[in-house]
Amino acid sequence: MKTAIAFAALFLLAACGQPQSTGYPAEYEFNFMRACQAAGSSNAICACVWGKIASEISPGDFEALEDLPQAEREVHPMTAQIQGYRTACVAETPSETPAETP
């Protein structure tokens, strides 16, 4: 539950700024990285997760998720998808400790 709340906060912070038609604005990445690191993940993990988000989720879909009430966001399939990205990134990053996995 704690992880879901942390990711919900990440969505909220990452969506600050005006979306562009050809990808995410730089502010999205900056805000995501700042919030992700504040939630306790390393720069490497946060960068990996952001890379997966930026390449696999359209800005419009990400923004639509952000616009949902928190309770709906927590159970939305895209939230599970993003948490899966984090799990994969932890596994792909050898310097991370198992304690960092949710």
Over residues 36-41, mean pLDDT: 93
- In this prediction, residue 23 carries a pLDDT of 86
CA distances from residue 16 to 11, 19, 29, 98, 99 in whole angstroms, order as listed: 9, 9, 10, 31, 30
Distance CA 22, CA 38 (A): 28
pTM for the model: 0.71
- In this prediction, residue 28 carries a pLDDT of 87
Is the pLDDT score of 97 beyond 80? no
